[in-house]
Amino acid sequence: MAAYAVCVRDGLVLLARSPGPGGVREWVLPGGGMEHGEDPYDTVVRELAEETGYRVEPTALLGVDSLRTALPARPVRRAVDHHGVRLVYEGRVTGGTLRPEVGGSTDLAAWHDLAAVPGLNRVPLVDTGLRLWRERPAAGRAGGGPEHKG
């Protein structure tokens, strides 16, 4: 499982850049894999700090995305039928300074105009996250979301 955040402010969305297949760089939602026993809320807070330098408050769970992918065989492993479950939160930046991740899975974090996103080389989860963000209930838009109890 993994947890990601859609952070939008002033018409801009926060994205991270990651090397994709063949070394082509792709924009992704900031976030990533949960550590064993870690609460998804804590995962998204930790991952955003690692990838962007920002402290983030998850304000609402926007939805769940499920992806099934066949990972090809390699010399040291068999082919794998991988099933990823990804929780997508709405997030609000509460502090920190934008900076790139050091020694991690991304190399750059940046704010992008929402209107420019369709022109970016991006993973499908970016579009899924933005769709969930646009479709969120009106109560979520006022900044009120479920409280975290963990």
What three-state secondary structure class fits 95? strand
Identify the CA nearest to 83 among candidates 62, 68, 104.
Answer: 68
**41: number of CA atoms within 13 Å, CB side?**
11
The single residue listed with the structure tokens 């850049």 is 17
pLDDT tier at 148, thresholds 50, 70, 90: very low
Cβ-count burial of 3 within 10 angstroms (0-12 exposed, 13-18 middle, 19+ buried)? buried
Q: Sorting pLDDT into bands at 50, 70 and 90, what band is 143? A: very low
**Which pLDDT belongs to residue 141?**
55
With the CA atoms of 142, 15, 43 and 129 taken in that order, what torsion angle do they form, in degrees rounded to the nearest 10? 60
> Quick one: pLDDT band at residue 83, thresholds 50, 70, 90?
confident
Residue with tokens 């804590």, as numbered in its chain: 42
Per-position DSSP letters for 31-82, written without gaps between them: EEEPPTT--HHHHHHHHHHHHHSEEEEEEEEEEEEEEEEEEPPBTTB--EEE
Mean pLDDT of the chain: 89
Rounded to 5 degrees, φ, ψ at 143 are 95, -5
Domains and CATH numbers, the chain: 2-72+80-140 (3.90.79.10)
